[in-house]
Chain A
Amino acid sequence: MNKTWIIAQREFLSRVQKKTFLLTTILLPVVVFGLYGLIIYFAVKTADNYKVAIADNANLFGGKIESKDDIKFEFVKDETIASLKEKIAKKELEGYVYVPKDFDAAKGDTISFVSGKTVGLMNREEIQKRIDNAMQERKLLSSLNINKKQLDSLQHSSDIKFATIEGKEENDAKVGISYGVGYASGFMIYIILFIYGTMVMRGVMEEKTNRIAEVIISSVKPFQLMMGKITGIGAVGLVQFLIWITLTITLRVGLVLLFPSLAESSHAVGAATHAIAEAKNSGAINSFLGGLSEVNFPLIVGCFIFYFIGGYLLYSSLFAAVGSAVNEDPQDAQSLLLPITMPIIFGIVIMTKAINDPTCGLAIFGSLFPLTSPIVMMARIPFGVPNTVPYWQLALSVILLIGGFICTTWLSAKIYRVGILMYGKKVTLKELWKWAWRKN
């Protein structure tokens, strides 16, 4: 036990002290967010005070185009195309729309937007949308012969509230948040299994090809060496992930503070932000906050750490076993890895189903079966315990996962013991299987 600890310490320190570790752990999120921030900064900036003149000689818009935020529409009279162009050249205007007097959409005339510089994608979209809206509204008002108020009430979408049978009102925002958190945690576990699993495998291969394995095995038991490596790298992973998560949250908050409009304008940050955006758009910040408080974050974080460790322990020993069986050629690892990567990928497939329908049979199976449970269960938990995930399922999943990793560790240790000292021969899966069940 003591020697396992010494090995784990070395594995941990030798990785944490590397420059690449610092680089990937601290710099990566900073760089990603820096780029992200820059993109947003420019996106927000180019939209600054974009003045568009509308010379609406055919009275197409009825003198009304939504003019808010950064794009300002100004209706002008008695301007010719030449005078408008002059204004653009003087930078009084960014662009104009000139509608001639004899404009008739039915005859196939189109509106054209003329600008000094090429219009950015976001502005282009926004201009298109507002002009369309204005024209549509105008058409509706004139053809239906109703007033603006009536039109508004027609267009107003009905608010449907969802409730469960227990009479508890389901918060829309909560489902959105659960979806986002579930997806993110499931996906993170998936990445963890791969990153740190392969890290363990590479470590074992390094020891084998360096031939240091035999020196160490003459001092400690193969099982101690394997467990030391797994523990050490697991600790690296945990530290790295905690840093990533704190950094991400800090940077994210920082970004929102820097660009208050971010929550509205970006859709790329993921479903969770999307929920925030939606909540804000509908003016229902309260409902969003309510949804946030209904999601049990301490439970989610606790479960995340458990499934992180459980899933990692379950798979890393398998990765170690494969590493021990491979000789110099890393390509040999590919075919041996297949039976390990299959269930992980299977897990992510079930997860995409589970976040859409967290109580379906496949989702429940996936969240109990230890090879997929770390991914699938983490996607289901944010939807609520014990509403969506009953206590018995959570307990069973935990027990099965613990049982599962004891099994895989036991099997892997037997393969590892033989493999780590076996040189020269290319090993097949069948042989690995035989090693695992060999006595002594």
Chain B
Amino acid sequence: MASILQLHHLKKYYASQKAIDDISFDIEQGSIFGLLGPNGAGKTTLLRMITGIFYPDSGDITFDGRAFDPKNDIIKIGYMPEERGLYKKMKIGEQAVYLAQLKGLSKTEALQKVRFWFRRLEMESWWNKKVEDLSKGMSQKLQFLITVLHEPKLIILDEPFSGLDPVNANLIKDEIYGLAQRGSTIIFSTHRMEQVEEICDHIVLVNLGKKILDGTVAEVKQQFKENKFSIKLAGIPTSIEDKAYEIIDQKANEFIMKINEGYKSNDVLQHFINQDITIESFNEILPTLNDIFIHLVERTKSVTRAFEKQS
């Protein structure tokens, strides 16, 4: 499929640091793309360049097949920054219409779209409420609505689920899938790796202004797999040792093993079949994105922070 966004050797230097140091990647149209990285890696700077807030010092951006022109392309982009912001004292209906107008919609168009989305997200009764009266989750929903209501080709969401309860998180998640199916491309920036695994097709990991990983979720996992398997046996064998693998962990009759170089999974199965031990299950353990993330970031010696694990 065609690329909606191509970054070529983007660079952005601040006085004291290289915020973005030669980053290139492509994003396919209609995909859900995960932009990952620890705090201070340069994600926000990168997103601000993609939304036309910042200009790169060098390199160029191709958007929808042509050189990115912030002035005219801005209507095709929806950006929800990590720090949410709305006018506290303004009625939310008016606010949504106003922000849609700033995107470039006419007043009647804006009204129509806002009404449509309010109905869709079951927010009609909120129209005359003020933002300061909304709960955090409600304002999050409103912010999402404002970002997507002009149905942009490219939607950039920075931590879209923070503060949402599971019901609303699912509602938003379904909307994201729906938008992707209708042809929008979604850039998804987050620290929550389990969400990335669930939602994203393609990921890029940045750290210290450089790209350190690029690929589909499956590819990345394959790339970082450590030949770990878990096997569950019907009974505990007397001799478990074999040259084909090493046991890393054992829980009753379940073993975690790493297959040694030069051997295949079938060699392990063969070993147990030969001993006439019933195998109840045998699975490959792929690394989680969280593990890969921590592994890579620590290798590049950056300040990492503890990732919030969903409990």
Residues of A at under 8 Å CB distance from B?
Answer: 3, 6-7, 10, 14, 206-207, 210-220, 421, 423, 440
Contact = CB atoms under 8 A, between A and B. Distances in A.
Contacts of A218: 51-53, 74, 77, 79, 81
11 contacts: A6-B102, A7-B102, A207-B85, A210-B88, A211-B83, A211-B84, A212-B87, A214-B79, A214-B83, A215-B85, A218-B53
Contacts of B9: none
A185 to B, nearest CB: 34
A204 to B, nearest CB: 13
Interface in B43-69: 48, 51-53, 55, 57
B74 A212 contact: no
B90 interface: yes
Interface of B: 48, 51-53, 55, 57, 74, 77, 79-81, 83-90, 98-99, 101-104, 143, 146
A211 B81 contact: yes
Given A14-B90, A440-B55, A214 B99 contact: no
A216 B77 contact: no
Contacts of A211: 81, 83-85
Given A206-B87, A214-B85, A218-B77, 11 more contacts: A3-B101, A14-B87, A14-B89, A210-B85, A211-B81, A215-B79, A215-B86, A215-B143, A219-B99, A219-B102, A423-B83
Contacts, number: 59
A420 to B, nearest CB: 10
Given A14-B90, A210-B88, A216 B99 contact: yes
Nearest to B51: A218
A219 to B, nearest CB: 4
Contacts of A14: 87, 89-90
A423 B82 CA distance: 13
B128 to A, nearest CB: 14
Centre residue among A211, A214, A220, A440 by max chain B CB count within 10 A: A214
Given A215-B146, A218-B77, A219-B74, A10 B98 contact: yes
Centre residue among B74, B102, B103 by max chain A CB count within 10 A: B102
Contacts of A6: 98, 101-102
Main secondary structure of the interface of B (DSSP, over half): loop
A3 B102 contact: yes
A220 B102 contact: yes
Contacts of B103: 219
A215 B84 CA distance: 8
A196 B206 CA distance: 45
A14 B84 CA distance: 21
Nearest to A220: B102
Contacts of B52: 218
Contact of A217 (B53, B84, B89): B53
Contacts of B86: 210, 212, 215
Query: Top 6 A-B pairs ranked by shortest CB distance?
Result: A211-B85, A212-B85, A211-B83, A218-B79, A219-B102, A214-B81
Contacts of A217: 53
B53 A421 contact: yes
A210 B132 CA distance: 11
Contacts of A212: 85-87
A10 B102 CA distance: 11
Contacts of A3: 101-102, 104
A421 B89 CA distance: 22
A134 B270 CA distance: 135
A219 B71 CA distance: 9
A7 B87 CA distance: 13
Contacts of A207: 85
Nearest to A438: B15
Nearest to B81: A214
A89 B212 CA distance: 103
Contacts of B87: 14, 206, 210, 212
A430 B85 CA distance: 29
Contacts of B90: 14
Nearest to A212: B85
A3 B101 CA distance: 8
A207 B53 CA distance: 16
A7 to B, nearest CB: 7
A440 B102 CA distance: 24
Contacts of B83: 211, 214, 423
Nearest to A2: B104
A184 B204 CA distance: 65
Nearest to B131: A210
A216 B52 CA distance: 12
Contacts of A423: 83
Contacts of B143: 215
Given A14-B90, A210-B85, A210-B86, A215 B98 contact: no
A371 to B, nearest CB: 30
